[in-house]
DNA sequence: TTTCGAATTTAGTCTTATCTAAAAATAAAT
DNA sequence: ATTTATTTTTAGATAAGACTAAATTCGAAA
């Protein structure tokens, strides 16, 4: 029998991590998420994933048809967004209050997001003054799982002379973030595309109307801009 | 072979909880801690405890001789105090920053204490301004596991006319703490013993030179006072 | 339509942490 | 010094979450 999710569905830490991965892999694409994709994202083996998918299916947070990938259910989406909310609120706390660098917060938040206490999150949210975005520019869902997304475009997609503001990064790895720090790029920076090099697609960018810098197409592809 | 604890010994969450329990049960008494005592403290069965003791013994954080109870080792004491430090720092955070009541913090801190991040604790400590005591008056060990204990006596042991200041509680259960709130007793309150009733050992206490209140011997036994 | 390679699932093993029931050891009482 | 009562340990089971190796299914190519 399927789990009667009358009231509250409780997930283990492992289940929360898998569900979050599935949610993220679902974003954009309408087609199901494959076992291999989940395994890659979670750094586990496909066999382990199959097992977990069965369990998540029984709990009705995903729709699971063997061999055909999974779709997240509404209930699952709500739970995933709750975990994401907690993750991002903790990241804000670490950066704003404990002076962590933005490349130091992810691993710790990955643990903190599993602390079970609605009161804690409610109070933390208030303490942080109800932030709308995390240190990487990602939106923080509200307690009902609603996210207000900003329209944004990858920097490498912009044309010469277009302007905007860096609002987020696609890649939150420490290596990438430290590279941005070194270059002098940061969330909130006003930018203008000065040139796009034919040869390798790299870009020349004007930052805050004073500094110009070059970045590879690859780097620019992981910077998200709100155009203006 | 015993775990070569050359450098850093890492414990699981369950192991940390058991070790903390053993540490607390060790305090005061010089004789070993019994399997049954640990089982009672951990709300698990003695059979489960035996298993865990064997594991903790192999990791050399306790000295384990079958049938004769356990003694915590120096290494074990250091690790237990580290977990206790984290627990109490988080409790301070919850009360001071997130406005939790002192009877609401224990369960959450019981989870937060297992987050693995030396940087996090170091920063949290600084953010809280290096507190020396938690919301229940218990001392917070420093990063080397050193505790500076205050001399203190249970309120029911005091004589009539003696004075002092409430500095801690022995029982941190929500029920007891809420009772203290209702009575108007709190950490830091200046008190004087006005009377000790022959009949049932209950006490009449003057609080902050203005309010008098009656409390049972049982309640007084869980209030710790620094005499003056 | 058959075949073949990749993706996926199943089967079986391992570790951690718990339990119940049974056996063994210790401590206490005759 | 035995016998008993209590405590503790062992044996065997279960559940979660991972793995490897083997079997199965799917879909694309021939
Ligand atoms: Mn996580
Ligand atoms: Mn983030
Ligand atoms: Mn704990
Ligand atoms: Mn405390």
Domain ranges within chain B, ordered by starting residue? 13-72, 153-227
The residues whose Cβ lies within 5 A of ligand 1, an ion, are: A 17, 110
**Ligand positioned closest to the Cα atom of A138:** 2
User: How many angstroms separate the CA atoms of A112 and B113, rounded?
Assistant: 11
Nearest residue, CB atoms, B111 vs list A107, A108, A116:
A116
Q: What does strand C contact on the protein, if contact means CB under 7 A?
A: A 34-37, 46-47, 49-51, 53-54, 64, 66-67, 69; B 12-15, 18, 43-45, 47-48, 51-52, 55, 67-68
Cβ atoms of B18 and B38 within 8 Å: the answer is yes
**Would you call A112 and B111 a contact, using CB atoms and an 8 Å cutoff?**
no
Nucleotides of C under 7 A from a protein CB: 7-12, 16-22, 25-27
| pLDDT tens sequence across A76-98 | 999 999 999 999 999 999 999 99
Q: Which two tokens stand for residue A58?
A: 């029984």
The strand D neighbours among A residues 18-37, by Cβ under 7 Å, are 18
Q: What's the pLDDT at B8?
A: 74
From first to last of the 228 residues of chain A, give the pLDDT tens digit: 455 555 678 999 999 999 999 999 998 777 889 999 999 999 999 999 999 999 999 999 999 999 999 999 999 999 999 999 999 999 999 999 999 999 999 999 999 999 999 999 999 999 999 999 999 999 999 999 999 888 999 999 999 999 999 999 999 999 999 999 999 999 999 999 999 998 998 999 999 999 999 999 999 999 999 998
Q: Which two tokens stand for residue A142?
A: 């509200």
Q: Which two tokens stand for residue A137?
A: 């520019």
User: How many angstroms separate the CA atoms of B79 and B57, rounded?
Assistant: 14
Q: Write the CA distances from B26 to A64, B60, B75, B91, B224, integer angstroms.
A: 51, 16, 14, 23, 19
Q: Does B94 reach chain A within 8 Å, measured CB to CB?
A: yes
Cβ atoms of A154 and A224 within 8 Å: the answer is yes
**Would you call B94 and A127 a contact, using CB atoms and an 8 Å cutoff?**
no
A193, burial (CB in 10 Å: exposed 0-12, middle 13-18, buried 19+):
buried
Apex CA A131: angle with CA A94 and CA A76, to 5°?
A: 90
Strand D reaches within 7 A of the A47 CB: yes
CA nearest to A3, candidates A87, A90, A64:
A64
Dihedral angle over CA of A41, A42, A44, A48, nearest 10: -110
Q: What's the pLDDT at B2?
A: 56
Domain covering A13-72: architecture: Orthogonal Bundle (1.10)
Q: Is the predicted pLDDT of residue B5 greater than 60, yes or no?
A: no
Q: Domain A153-227: which topology?
A: SH3 type barrels. (2.30.30)
Confidence of residue B148 (pLDDT cuts 50, 70, 90): confident
In B, residues 147-166, which contact A (CB 8 Å cutoff)? none
Instruction: Write down the mean pLDDT value for chain B.
Output: 94
Average pLDDT of span B156-178: 94
Q: Is B214 helix (H, G, I), strand (E, B) or coil?
A: strand
Q: pTM of the prediction? A: 0.94
Q: Write the CA distances from B153 to B29, B144, B147, B165, B221, integer angstroms.
A: 17, 27, 18, 10, 9
Average pLDDT of span B140-165: 93
Instruction: Give the nucleotide with minimal C1' distance to the Cα of B44.
Output: C18
Confidence of residue B160 (pLDDT cuts 50, 70, 90): very high
């Amino acid at each position: 029998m399927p789990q009667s999710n009358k009231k509250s569905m409780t997930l283990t830490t492992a289940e929360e991590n898998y569900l979050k991965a599935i949610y993220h892999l679902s974003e954009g694409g309408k087609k199901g998420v494959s076992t291999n994709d989940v395994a890659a994202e979670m750094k586990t083996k496909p066999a382990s994933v199959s097992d977990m998918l069965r369990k998540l299916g029984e709990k009705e947070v995903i729709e699971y048809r063997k061999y055909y990938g999974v779709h997240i259910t509404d209930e699952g989406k709500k739970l995933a967004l709750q975990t994401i909310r907690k993750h991002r609120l903790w990241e804000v706390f670490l950066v704003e209050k404990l002076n962590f660098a933005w490349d130091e917060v992810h691993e710790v938040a990955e643990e903190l997001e599993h602390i079970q206490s609605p009161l804690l999150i409610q109070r933390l949210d208030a303490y942080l003054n109800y932030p709308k975005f995390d240190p990487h520019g990602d939106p923080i869902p509200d307690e009902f799982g609603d996210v207000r997304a900003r329209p944004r475009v990858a920097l490498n997609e912009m044309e010469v002379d277009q302007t905007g503001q860096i609002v987020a990064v696609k890649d939150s790895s420490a290596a990438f973030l430290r590279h941005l720090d070194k270059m002098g790029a940061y969330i909130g920076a006003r930018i203008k595309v000065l040139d796009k090099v034919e040869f390798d697609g790299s870009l020349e960018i004007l930052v805050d109307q004073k500094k110009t810098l070059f970045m590879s197409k690859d780097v620019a592809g992981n910077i998200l801009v709100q155009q203006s």
